[in-house]
Amino acid sequence: MKILVCVKQVYDSPETLVFDESAGKVTFGPHTIFRMNHYDEYALEEALRIRERLGDAVVDALSVGPPRVGKTIRRALELGADQGIHVQTCDETCLSAFERAHFIAAASRGRGYDLVLAGVMAEDDMESQVGPLLAAVLGYGCATGVIFEELSADGREIAVEREVEGGSRECLSLALPCVLTIQSGINTPRYPALSHVLRTRSAELECIEASSLAVPPPTQSLVRILPPAQGRQGEIIEGTAAEKADKLIHILREHSLLPR
């Protein structure tokens, strides 16, 4: 069995982002730290557990982005992935879910993957769209928010449970190949083994130039980007307990929240 895990590099903290309202874009400050999307760590761990159960599976990790993304792919190798694939873009331009899904599909098509796993969403944009779009492009079945999976004895189907609204679970059976987006809590991601860390130092990543892939033009464009609206600032009431109570009652009465 061949398993592909889609991993994304995200910024560690929004505090280092630089918002340029005049240009309508957000850039990364000089002290921005990047790491693997936490939801993708659960997807990678689930792929590694499937490999351990089967004994003969191969796990590839793929990411799309500028040269710095190679560090995140190497992190996937340190955790146990067999091969890293980097679809390299030439700049820091943020890709839409549509573009990212098409790049992954173009790079993975024809490689014989039986199962494609990804995190349920990315922490930076929180769109939860790449997995379903990727499945649509490849023509695969798809289940999102997967909290449990089990392969059939013949390896042709996979039974899954996915979270739905209200805390309920939906049970599905999908024919392989298919795409699953993995929810947090399905497992506990492991720490990298020293042997994998040492192996990764000399490992060669497969690098594919994004410009060499035949993908359709984007179907959406960014018109405007705005920071969140400034919320109303709170008022701190000072004084003794009795004074604070009197001031609070006065404020509530001013706003007609208490009878006068």
Instruction: Tell me how far apart the alpha carbons of residues 201 and 27 are, in angstroms, rounded to a whole number.
Output: 30
| The pLDDT of residue 25 | 73
Domain borders along the chain are 2-212, 230-260
| The pLDDT of residue 219 | 83
pLDDT-derived band at 229 (thresholds 50, 70, 90) equals confident
Instruction: Tell me how far apart the alpha carbons of residues 31 and 15 are, in angstroms, rounded to a whole number.
Output: 10
pLDDT-derived band at 79 (thresholds 50, 70, 90) equals very high
What six digits make up the tokens of 89?
A: 């873009």
Instruction: Tell me how far apart the alpha carbons of residues 130 and 121 are, in angstroms, rounded to a whole number.
Output: 8
**Is 91 a residue whose pLDDT tops 80?**
no
For 52, the 3-state DSSP assignment is: helix
Q: Rounded mean pLDDT of 162-187?
A: 94
Share of the chain above pLDDT 70, in %: 98
- pTM for the model stands at 0.85
Q: Rounded mean pLDDT of 178-186?
A: 96
Question: DSSP character for 191?
Answer: P
For 26, the 3-state DSSP assignment is: strand
pLDDT digits (tens, 9 = 90+) for 105-129: 999 999 999 999 999 999 988 999 9
**Is 23 a residue whose pLDDT tops 70?**
no
Class level of CATH domain 2-212: alpha beta
What six digits make up the tokens of 232?
A: 């109303």
| The pLDDT of residue 259 | 80
Q: Rounded mean pLDDT of 37-50?
A: 98
Q: Rounded mean pLDDT of 17-25?
A: 74
For the CA atoms of the chain, what is the radius of gyration? 23
**Is 24 a residue whose pLDDT tops 70?**
no
Asked if residues 59 and 260 have their Cβ atoms less than 8 Å apart, the reply is no
Q: Rounded mean pLDDT of 153-157?
A: 94
| The pLDDT of residue 5 | 98
**Is 235 a residue whose pLDDT tops 90?**
no
Asked if residues 129 and 179 have their Cβ atoms less than 8 Å apart, the reply is no
